[in-house]
């Protein structure tokens, strides 16, 4: 049973289908491992054993009767604590939402439940999802209490804001985790914990019942052990069919390595990316290096686009109890007050122009490549002791991923074999099927 904890969600699903794995025993194995784990309270906000075992029993009965609802029927996964869960506290990592218990599941959780997936529990996250490091000292009172460990060094942050989602998978406490990505919050923790992370296109998956940060950019996405898992979880949450990944190849595929977002990466991240690109080329990919004009100007619009919407969403709650927040996250929200309504409208009008320019300049490429993060996971103690270091590292960890959010793209982070170093592929909006086929071929080359 211990081996089950390290299999991909798709492998577990196939085992259930063959009658080799009992969904109830599988769920019990994950629950037992989570209860016994030294970092349980740093990863999960709450385990939901009653719900999980009831769902597992239903999956087991369907398997016995030959009426499984899909490949992942009976597979246990975790959910970031901003997805509403009926009768279970959903507080988005913030004391501002303490005691918030929704009456219904978020739409994507409801879809997953109808497809037979098992909800193990809710995972920790950066406060209100507005930080990329995964550090959250305010929610449980200490940095460690709500700051999950990094799988490669528990003294370092795991990346955020889907921090617990990544840790639950990386430490063998869930077959997959569902997170959200507004500026990099799926891809950063996926990269820093050696997982696959899919950022979906804005509008592709429902945000109904998802605690918002900036709804113009908020997206839902899975953190997994394989590209195949991402494909099947996307289908489950959308209520569609998973793309066929068989026969995916890199021969003749054309990729653009985006400068200057590569040359200044930290040594491990640069090494992982360079070796990854080399392996893609050996598998037949055509690699070019260059810049795309619109992105520099788009980056300059980030403060008004993200912070203004986030503060507009949360200002009333924040100002009613500002001392209940981590001051650095609170101050980041308050930065949105520096911009007017006309500033925000003008920024969005300009961003739409820049997105069209990006699309034209990248149309000849199958995907754009860059390191998922420019920096390595920072030390928790130093982040707490040095506010300037915190601000610099938070902005840097989200810099590369934000390219995809600003340009409205879908994105995939893949592990390179170098610890905490991911390779990111960015593809056009609503091109997830194409991106996942590219990702499956790249995954094979990187392995």
Distance of CA 35 to the CA centre of its chain: 24
User: Of 209, 238, 267, which residue constitutes the final position of a domain?
Assistant: 238
CA separation for the pair 136, 130 (Å, rounded): 11
244: in domain: no
161 is catalytic: yes
Residues of the chain under the 70 pLDDT cut: 1
Residue 19, classified by CB atoms within 10 Å of its CB into exposed (0-12), middle (13-18) or buried (19+), is exposed
Give the active site residue among 8, 80, 122, 420.
80
With tokens 């300009």, the residue in question is: 350
With tokens 């009768």, the residue in question is: 87
Which three-class secondary structure state does DSSP give residue 168? helix
Q: Which CATH number does the domain housing residue 350 bear?
A: 3.90.1300.10
**Beta strand spans in 51-134 (E):** 76-80, 118-123
- Nearest partner of 426 among 131, 434, 182, judged by Cα: 434
Report whether 123 contacts 167 (CB < 8 A): yes
Question: What local confidence, expressed as pLDDT, does residue 192 receive?
Answer: 99
Same domain, 232 and 320: no
286: in domain: yes
Same domain, 88 and 33: yes
Q: Crossing angle, helix 49-65 and helix 9-17, to 10 degrees?
A: 50
Same domain, 283 and 217: no
- Nearest partner of 224 among 31, 8, 416, 4, judged by Cα: 8
Same domain, 209 and 307: no
Question: What local confidence, expressed as pLDDT, does residue 144 receive?
Answer: 83
Token code pair at residue 188: 């950063």
Give the active site residue among 8, 161, 302, 420.
161
CA separation for the pair 208, 185 (Å, rounded): 18
Distance of CA 69 to the CA centre of its chain: 25
Same domain, 278 and 183: no
246: in domain: no
Parallel, antiparallel, or unpaired: how do β-strands 177-180 and 76-80 relate? parallel
Evaluate the CA torsion angle 131, 339, 94, 76 in order and state its sign.
Answer: negative
Same domain, 276 and 143: no
Residue 190, classified by CB atoms within 10 Å of its CB into exposed (0-12), middle (13-18) or buried (19+), is buried
Same domain, 378 and 264: yes
Question: What local confidence, expressed as pLDDT, does residue 186 receive?
Answer: 98
Phi, psi of 368 (to 5 degrees): -100, 140
Same domain, 127 and 265: no
Which helix or strand (DSSP H or E) is residue 45 part of? strand 44-47
Structural domain range at position 338: 254-446
User: 260-273 in b/e burial notation, b at 16+ Cβ within 10 A?
Assistant: ebbeebbebbbbbb
Same domain, 386 and 356: yes
Domain count of the fold of the chain: 2
Report whether 374 contacts 270 (CB < 8 A): no
CA separation for the pair 351, 396 (Å, rounded): 21
248: in domain: no
Give the active site residue among 34, 85, 163, 185.
185
Token code pair at residue 98: 């303490």
Report whether 167 contacts 405 (CB < 8 A): no
CA separation for the pair 346, 340 (Å, rounded): 10
Same domain, 228 and 258: no
User: Of 203, 238, 273, which residue constitutes the final position of a domain?
Assistant: 238
State the pTM of this model.
0.98
């Amino acid at each position: 049973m211990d081996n089950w904890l390290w299999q991909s969600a798709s492998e577990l699903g196939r085992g259930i289908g063959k009658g080799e794995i009992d969904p109830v025993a599988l769920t019990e194995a994950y629950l037992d491992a989570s209860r016994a784990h030294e970092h349980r309270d740093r990863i999960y906000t709450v385990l939901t054993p009653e719900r999980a075992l009831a769902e597992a029993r239903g999956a087991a009965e369907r398997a016995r009767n030959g009426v499984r609802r899909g490949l992942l029927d009976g597979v246990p996964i975790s959910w970031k604590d901003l997805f509403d869960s009926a009768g279970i506290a959903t507080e988005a990592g913030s004391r501002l939402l303490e005691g918030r218990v929704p009456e219904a599941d978020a739409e994507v959780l409801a879809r997953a439940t109808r497809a037979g997936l098992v909800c193990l529990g809710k995972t920790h996250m950066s406060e209100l999802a507005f930080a990329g490091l995964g550090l959250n000292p305010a929610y449980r009172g200490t940095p460690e209490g709500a700051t999950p460990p990094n799988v490669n060094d528990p003294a370092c942050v795991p990346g955020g804001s889907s921090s617990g989602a990544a840790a639950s998978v990386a430490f063998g406490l869930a077959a997959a985790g569902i997170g959200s990505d507004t500026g990099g919050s799926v891809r950063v923790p996926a990269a820093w914990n050696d997982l696959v992370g899919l950022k979906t296109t804005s509008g592709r998956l429902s945000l109904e019942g998802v605690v918002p940060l900036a709804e113009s950019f908020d997206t839902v996405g899975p953190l997994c052990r394989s590209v195949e898992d991402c494909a099947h979880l996307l289908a489950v949450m959308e209520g569609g069919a998973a793309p066929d990944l068989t026969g995916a190849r890199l021969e003749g595929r054309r990729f653009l390595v985006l400068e200057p977002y590569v040359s200044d990466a930290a040594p491990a991240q640069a090494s992982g990316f360079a070796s990854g690109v080399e392996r893609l080329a050996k598998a037949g990919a055509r690699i070019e290096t260059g810049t795309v004009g619109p992105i520099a100007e788009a980056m300059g619009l980030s403060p008004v686009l993200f912070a203004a919407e986030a503060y507009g969403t949360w200002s009333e709650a924040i100002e009613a109890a500002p001392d209940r927040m981590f001051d650095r996250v609170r101050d980041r929200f308050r930065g949105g007050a520096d911009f007017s309504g006309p500033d925000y409208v003008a920024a969005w009008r300009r961003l739409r122009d820049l997105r069209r320019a990006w699309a034209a300049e990248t149309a000849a490429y199958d995907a754009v490549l860059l390191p998922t993060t420019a920096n390595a996971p920072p030390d928790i103690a130093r982040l707490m002791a040095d506010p300037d270091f915190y601000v610099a590292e938070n902005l840097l960890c989200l810099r590369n991923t934000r390219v995809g959010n600003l340009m409205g793209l879908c994105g995939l982070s893949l592990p390179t074999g170098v610890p905490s170093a991911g390779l990111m592929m960015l593809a056009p909006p609503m091109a997830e099927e194409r991106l996942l086929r590219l990702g499956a071929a790249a995954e094979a080359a990187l392995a």
